[in-house]
A and B are shown apart, each in its own frame.
Chain A
Amino acid sequence: DAMVIQNPRYQVTQFGKPVTLSCSQTLNHNVMYWYQQKSSQAPKLLFHYYDKDFNNEADTPDNFQSRRPNTSFCFLDIRSPGLGDAAMYLCATSERQGNEQFFGPGTRLTVL
């Protein structure tokens, strides 16, 4: 089945220690998104790639970076995680912007 895969499902890191979350897709979609979701809140878009074009949301902290080495993979790097970065991180894909998005299962990040 075509899908969006996120690894790991649960990640624990220490305050200030860099962490990388990964996302892969077998849907061959052009667009990949990263969202941050805190408890009882809607997902908040951090950035997205349309093919190789990177689009950062204006309010995404510089602490968050992303890489998309190829169509299938996309990474979220948090350079110096703070306690406030503990959240669920969701990866999503869509065939084109504005279409329905297909979400992965998420990675729950804990910062100690």
Chain B
Amino acid sequence: AQSVTQLGSHVSVSEGALVLLRCNYSSSVPPYLFWYVQYPNQGLQLLLKYTSAATLVKGINGFEAEFKKSETSFHLTKPSAHMSDAAEYFCAVSDGQGGKLIFGQGTELSVKP
């Protein structure tokens, strides 16, 4: 079975500050890991994905995430927050073998001017 835990349902940062959104996973097989962003009244947009290649994954909008097997983590970072980054962020895991996508509960990111 697989599961995802996102630490912190709300994260607030100042514009220009580092963004760090935490995601820990549990998986009995090598996982596929994803980060999605959702703006109000919109669908989910894929930010980046890890599928067993490079452990440091770069995505869109300046985001990146590092797969750490020893820590079972896949935290999302961005060096400098922008007002437009304010949104809901979802971490998700699958087994890459036909299993469904398991979502975390989401983290709402607020960016203060």
A residues sitting closer than 8 Å to B (CB atoms) are 4, 6, 40-43, 45, 48, 88, 90, 92, 96-106, 108
Q: Is the CB of B44 within 8 A of A99?
A: no
Q: With contacts defined as CB atoms under 8 Å apart, how many contacts are there between chain A and chain B in the complex? A: 57
Q: Is the interface of A mostly helix, strand, loop or mixed?
A: loop
**Hey, what's the 0/1 contact readout for B94-108 against A, CB within 8 Å counting as 1?**
111111110111101
Closest B residue to A42 using CB positions: B103
Q: Which residues of B contact A104 (CB under 8 A)?
A: 43
Q: Is the CB of B95 within 8 A of A98?
A: yes
Q: Is the CB of A97 within 8 A of B98?
A: yes
Out of A100, A105, A108, which one reaches B34, CB within 8 Å?
Answer: A100
Q: A40-B106, A41-B106, A42-B106 are in contact. Are A100 and B46 (CB under 8 A)?
A: yes
Complex Cα spacing A90 to B43, Å: 7
Out of A40, A43, A103, A108, which one reaches B45, CB within 8 Å?
Answer: A103
